[in-house]
Amino acid sequence: MKKAIVWILVSAVVFAAGVYLGKVKFSASGPAAPPPTFFEGGDGALSVDLAGKTIIEVKDGQSIQEAVGKANPGDLIRVYPGTYRETVYIDKDNISLQGVIQKGKWPTLDGSVDGKASLNDAILYSGSNILIENFKIVLYKGNAIMGQAGNNFLIRNNWIVDAGIYGIFPEFGKNGLIEHNVLSGISDAAIYVGMCDNIDVRHNEVFESVAGIEIENSRHCLVESNYTHDNTGGILAFITPGLPIKTCFDVIIRDNFVVNNNHPNFGKPGAIISMLPPGTGIIVMAADDVIIENNIITGNDNTGIVITDLSFGSQLSKDPESEPNPDRVVVLDNVMFNNGNNPVADVKTAMATQMDNKGPDILAYGGGVGSCIRNRDMYRTFGLENYASCELESTDNVKSYLLSTPVAPRVIEKDEKGKMAYYGVCSGCHAYDVRMIGPPTQVIQALYKDNPQGIADYIANPVHKRDDYPEMPPQNYLSEETRLAVAEFMLTLKN
């Protein structure tokens, strides 16, 4: 009987993988182009019609940034195959940046010099109503694609390899879709949704990175039909204390393949991500109202699913405004097998109390209330004694978290310029008293007390001073006024 069940599960994996890979055709030449829809979901359709747009063409040997400079809101910038060694910054609304793939050749943003990553960022956008599609991005030090407080974005069908700390990183944005991208070799998170609302992440492949997909301090997010494999950790929904947004809730993680996430952790020592133990499929840390449904979770050597509070790391429990417990986590039916073959020491010790030397399919640690699980006996579990039996059967009624109408572009008043720049740019690497990528803001305050101009000058032309932190990229695309405003704001922060 047990053998029959295993064969049924294996057949389900093979069949489902075939269906999934039929939706996104992965190959050595990158992902196949998806249908030409822009947004879909919410209560209706949110669309941008590319027909009739003014087209600005960029060909090999020309500059994409120069084309952005010439573009007016509503224009389509079409980039043809070639190698483009530059950083592209889009600070206008309603710009479409579209690569053209011809006979397997891609428009490639390459940040390297002599084969070594040199430039920090490939594409930065702060405008709203932005499309970025069909680019290959390789060998950058910081970010492949980063959104800085832009709303209504679509990032799709990009191929990102060894492109720094974050692959696709919308920060402080609303109403966005990330789909049909392939990412690998990212030293923090391949797809990192930071302090955002109403985001769908679907049909992406992420592998050989530290974290596959992260939903951090974000709300109303759908993570669906992705293939996360051979990372250190597969999918994460969590709170980082010390950031301006203090909550993470209403996240659905469903229909994903979370497979063999056992890659050694190569995150920067001391950073939060460096604490992530290899072999973990899905992690929920202090996030609330997370639903985990209909995923195939297998071959993760530590555990399949970890649900934990902020005591996961001692440096993560300092923000009094960040509620530390994962509340109302819902675990519905998932296919889970062959997890926990090589658990970390703490997990192995916990399982020894159950006379088991394998890691569990599902591990709950720390506080939290109101959580539940369906069909508990399907899984090997630890720490779920207080979990009720779920009444919810499925999330089929939630088709998307995209909104039916676009969000208005942010209007930044003069006295908010520093605050918004900090939210949209700086807080991606700097929390108040927690180490992320860069030093905590509290440390910066001590170094530059009563000297905002010193911070502003450093932002424009940073000098790498400490080996225990990565080199900070220059943010000299920000105006002098904005750099000084964000410096003054940083010196006033309290938590």
Q: Is the pLDDT of residue 90 over 70?
A: yes
Model confidence pLDDT, tens digit, residues 354-366:
767 788 999 998 8
pLDDT reported for residue 408: 87
Q: Say how far apart CA 164 and CA 320 lie, in whole Å.
A: 32
pLDDT reported for residue 415: 59
pLDDT reported for residue 357: 78
Record the tokens describing residue 183, joined without a space.
């990412």
pLDDT reported for residue 107: 98
Q: Is the pLDDT of residue 86 over 90?
A: yes
Range ranked top by mean pLDDT from 167-181, 235-249, 257-271, 433-447: 167-181
Summarize the confidence of residues 151-157 as an average pLDDT. 96
Summarize the confidence of residues 145-163 as an average pLDDT. 95
Q: Say how far apart CA 320 and CA 92 lie, in whole Å.
A: 37
Percent of the chain exceeding pLDDT 90 equals 57
Q: What is the mean pLDDT of the chain?
A: 84
Side chain identity at residue 290, one-letter code: V
When mean pLDDT is compared across 31-45, 74-88, 112-126, 174-188, the lowest value belongs to 31-45
* 20-389 and 415-490 agree in CATH topology: no
Q: Is the pLDDT of residue 48 over 70?
A: no
Fold classified for 20-389: Pectate Lyase C-like (2.160.20)
pLDDT reported for residue 166: 94
Summarize the confidence of residues 240-252 as an average pLDDT. 91
DSSP lists the bridge partners of residue 109 as 84, 137
Q: Is the pLDDT of residue 157 over 60?
A: yes
Model confidence pLDDT, tens digit, residues 340-349:
999 887 887 7
Summarize the confidence of residues 268-278 as an average pLDDT. 77
pLDDT reported for residue 5: 34
* Beta-carbon contacts of residue 357 (< 8 Å; ≥ 6 apart): 348, 351
pLDDT reported for residue 257: 98
pLDDT reported for residue 295: 98
pLDDT reported for residue 447: 72
- Of 447, 436, 469, the C-alpha closest to 243 is 436
Q: Say how far apart CA 160 and CA 108 lie, in whole Å.
A: 10
pLDDT reported for residue 36: 35
Does the 415-490 domain belong in CATH 1.10.760.10?
A: yes
- Of 202, 204, 157, 166, the C-alpha closest to 185 is 166
Model confidence pLDDT, tens digit, residues 190-224:
999 999 999 999 999 999 999 999 999 999 999 99
pLDDT reported for residue 239: 93
Q: Say how far apart CA 377 and CA 384 lie, in whole Å.
A: 12
Domain boundaries defined on the chain = 20-389, 415-490
| Helix/strand/coil for 266 | coil
Quick one: pLDDT band at residue 419, thresholds 50, 70, 90?
low
Quick one: pLDDT band at residue 298, thresholds 50, 70, 90?
very high
When mean pLDDT is compared across 73-87, 395-409, 432-446, the lowest value belongs to 432-446
Q: Is the pLDDT of residue 439 over 60?
A: yes
Q: Is the pLDDT of residue 238 over 90?
A: yes
For 6, 118, 131, 140, 156, the CA distances from 185, given in Å and listed in that order, are 33, 16, 24, 11, 18
| Helix/strand/coil for 19 | helix
- Of 108, 188, 117, 107, the C-alpha closest to 146 is 188
- Give strand ranges (E) for 28-68: 55-58
